[in-house]
């Protein structure tokens, strides 16, 4: 059993939990994910690792209520426990294997949409600890739905907040903010990383490509089983079939067939509605 030490509500439909898992915490790296199971009959749910603390032996997960299984996770309280927590799984972010010297001259911009802010945090934190310049564009539909604003501000050089309705920060999409930073403010980035809703990553990739900027995206929202057995996370990358859970979840955005990925992402929508008819309309995510 894996005890939930703390639980926090980040916005009306998103919760953060700190879970006791010493062995997992000692092995976790930015970009990886884990699988939780609420009880012996519960579904296996892949969730990206939002933080980890080796000394305390804890990992942090962030879950958005979408369907029946995510609601089961969010219903657990501090003091209760998960039946299973398995990980770390997936391939870490490629920069994790590089030294500060090897990363010298790099400047990253992270584009975090909605719940994507949570997995962006450990990546920005890792780079910031090595002295690598990091900017973060954080977006949501409105100010109420913004998460990890303070946490990201603490581990980046500049945080740019965007809301669709203009209730906080820049009024407009994260892609418009990226264009503004590069074209109007003269910012120069060597690489972009986008994590969030699939449609956001699609257009973030188009924008980055128009700016001649390499971009990495995380396809964690495609995962179901998390081990490559179910095949639900199949996606075409560079004309080849790849499995997001075992070969990713991060890929070169310029090579991803986003239209196919979005079709695959909606495959189990009917089953989710049947299991829990009051599904959150904010957007799909893990």
137-149 per-position pLDDT tens digit: 999 999 999 999 9
Name the strand (E) or helix (H) holding 199.
helix 198-210
Q: Which residue has the higher pLDDT, 230 or 4?
A: 4
Q: To 10 degrees, the CA torsion angle through 93, 61, 13, 6?
A: -150
Q: Which stretch, 74-83, 241-250, 272-281, has highest mean pLDDT?
A: 74-83
128-157 average pLDDT score: 96
Q: To 10 degrees, the CA torsion angle through 52, 220, 110, 215?
A: 130
pLDDT of 269 reads 54
Q: What is the pLDDT of residues 15-62, one digit of tens each?
A: 999 999 999 999 999 999 999 999 888 888 889 999 999 999 999 999
Contact 60, 94 (CB under 8 A): no
In the chain the beta strands, taken as DSSP E runs, fall at 2-11, 14-20, 33-37, 45-53, 58-64, 81-82, 84-89, 108-113, 134-140, 158-163, 170-171, 191-195, 215-218, 234-237, 240-243, 250-252
Is-cis flag, bond preceding 59, omega within 30? no
Q: What is the pLDDT of residues 203-226, one digit of tens each?
A: 999 999 999 999 999 998 887 777
What is the pLDDT confidence band of residue 278, given thresholds at 50, 70 and 90? very low
pLDDT of 285 reads 40
Q: What is the pLDDT of residues 86-125, one digit of tens each?
A: 999 999 999 999 999 999 999 999 999 999 999 999 999 9
Has residue 10 got a pLDDT over 80? yes
Beta bridge partners of 82: 2
**Which structural domains are found in the chain, ordered by start?**
2-89 (2.40.30.10)
Has residue 275 got a pLDDT over 50? no
Tell me how far the alpha carbon of residue 210 is from its chain's centroid.
24
Alpha-carbon distance 113 to 198, whole Å? 10
Q: What is the average pLDDT value for the chain, to the nearest integer?
A: 90
- Cβ count near 270 (within 10 Å): 9
222-243 average pLDDT score: 82
3-state secondary structure string across 169-180: CEECCHHHHHHH
Q: Which residue has the higher pLDDT, 22 or 246?
A: 22
Lowest mean pLDDT: which of 76-80, 130-134, 137-141, 245-249? 245-249
* Portion of the chain with pLDDT greater than 70, in percent: 92
pLDDT of 16 reads 97
pLDDT of 268 reads 55
């Amino acid at each position: 059993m894996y005890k939930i030490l703390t639980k926090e509500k980040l916005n009306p439909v998103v919760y953060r939990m700190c879970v006791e898992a010493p062995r997992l915490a000692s092995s976790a790296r930015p970009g990886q994910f884990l699988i939780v199971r609420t009880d012996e009959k519960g579904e296996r749910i892949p969730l990206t690792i939002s933080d980890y603390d080796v000394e305390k032996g804890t990992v942090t997960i962030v879950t958005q209520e979408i369907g029946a299984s995510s609601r089961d996770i969010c219903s657990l309280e501090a003091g209760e426990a998960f039946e299973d927590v398995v990980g770390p799984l997936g391939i870490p972010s490629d920069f994790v294997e590089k030294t500060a010297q090897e990363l010298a001259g790099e400047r990253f911009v992270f584009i975090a949409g909605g719940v994507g802010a949570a997995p962006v945090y450990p990546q920005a934190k890792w780079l910031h600890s090595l002295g690598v310049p990091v900017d973060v564009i954080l977006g949501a539909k409105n100010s109420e739905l913004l998460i990890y604003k303070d946490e990201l501000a603490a581990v980046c050089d500049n945080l740019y907040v965007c809301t669709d309705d203009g209730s906080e920060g820049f009024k407009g999409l994260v892609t418009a903010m990226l264009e503004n930073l590069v074209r109007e403010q003269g910012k120069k980035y060597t690489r972009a990383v986008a994590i969030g809703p699939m449609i956001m990553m699609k257009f973030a990739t188009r924008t980055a490509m128009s700016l001649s900027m390499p971009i990495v995206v995380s396809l964690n929202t495609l995962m179901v089983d998390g081990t490559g057995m179910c095949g639900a996370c199949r996606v075409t990358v560079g004309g080849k079939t790849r499995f997001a859970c075992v070969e990713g979840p991060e890929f070169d955005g310029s090579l991803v067939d986003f239209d196919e990925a979005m079709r695959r992402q909606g495959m189990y929508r009917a089953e989710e509605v049947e299991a829990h008819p009051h599904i959150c309309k904010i957007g799909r995510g893990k």
